[in-house]
Amino acid sequence: MTALADIPVCDFAATSTIRLIATAYVDEPALGPLADSPADLAVLEAVEGLTSARRAKLPPLPGGISASELLGEWHGYGWTYINAAFCYTRATGNRFNGPERGAWYACHGRHAAATAQAEVAWHLSRELTATGVFDNVTAYRELVAGFMTRFHDLRALGPLPCLDADPAVAYDAGQLLARQVLGAGGNGVLYPSARRKGGHCLAAFRPHLVQNVRQGQTWQFTWKGSARPEIRPI
């Protein structure tokens, strides 16, 4: 395991990083048809929020996301997407976050869209492999966001356990590193994609770092009997 002190920290500025989320999460709010005006919708959303696990989140277990870190409408468009990324996690976590605290994963650089597609395709193909049925159509929308901050940079450190293509090897190491970065006051990591050669990824560990969120291209992923999906814009 590389010591935290041996990982360089660099300035990072990018206006158009790309994160893909299923379009089911960016369609019209479910409460929309019940409201006659924006004011009515605000009241309904406030009532719904009383039972929201995200909005009701209290100070968590050590290392988790706290209510004070979550964003509000003052942050601008996309604040709910950002909060969701940090509050809703997998039971096993991901490469650089455990089950108690999420992170904002995105791709950057010249081929950010292709890298994001490769990352998403790999993960969903892995889930389909578990079922043994490669028959699925899912649409994803780009969430484009900007950053101007400092990150720990893993890109030039050679092979590391946390960068391994196998989650069984990478996730424990990556989650340990993430806890160390957070504990030292760090913001996140830059790292090479494990799913697309030459691709660049980031994991931001603090919600306020994600700026100027807007929607981009929509892509349809279609699996027709193969683990390799067809990807086309829609």
43, pLDDT greater than 80: no
Using DSSP, state whether 61 is helix, strand or coil: coil
* Confidence class for position 49, pLDDT limits 50, 70, 90: low
Q: Where are the domains of the chain?
A: 4-233
Question: What's the whole-number mean pLDDT along residues 175-203?
Answer: 97
Residue 168 identity (one-letter amino acid): A
Indicate the SS3 state at residue 214: strand
Q: In whole angstroms, what is the distance from residue 116 CA to residue 22 CA?
A: 13
Q: Is the pTM of this model over 0.95?
A: no
| Percent over 70 (pLDDT), the chain | 84
Euclidean distance between the first and the last CA atom of the chain, given in angstroms as a whole number? 43
Higher pLDDT, 36 or 8: 8
Strand, helix or coil for residue 223 = strand
The whole-angstrom separation of Cα 54 and Cα 47 is: 14
- For the four alpha carbons of 44, 46, 48 and 54, in that order, the dihedral sign comes to positive
Asked whether the beta carbons of 213 and 144 are under 8 A apart, the reply is yes
With a cut of 70, say whether residue 68 has pLDDT above it. Answer: yes
Res. 169: pLDDT tops 60:
yes
For residue 62, the model assigns a pLDDT of 41
CA 82 to chain centre: 8
| 79, pLDDT greater than 60 | yes
User: Mean pLDDT, to the nearest integer, of 138-155?
Assistant: 98
pLDDT for res 152: 98
pLDDT at 3: 87
Per-residue pLDDT at 61 exceeds 50: no
For the chain, give the percent of residues with pLDDT over 90: 77
Give the pLDDT confidence of 90-120 residue by residue, as tens digits.
999 999 999 999 999 999 999 999 999 999 9
**Residues contacting residue 111 through CB under 8 Å, at least 6 positions apart:** 196, 198, 199
Q: Is the pLDDT of residue 57 over 60?
A: no
pLDDT on residue 35: 58
Provide the mean pLDDT of the chain: 88
Residue spans of alpha helices (H) in 50-160: 79-87, 112-131
Q: Is 87 exposed, middle or buried (0-12, 13-18, 19+ CB in 10 A)?
A: buried
Asked if the model's pLDDT at residue 174 lies above 60, the reply is yes
> What confidence score (pLDDT) does residue 26 get?
78
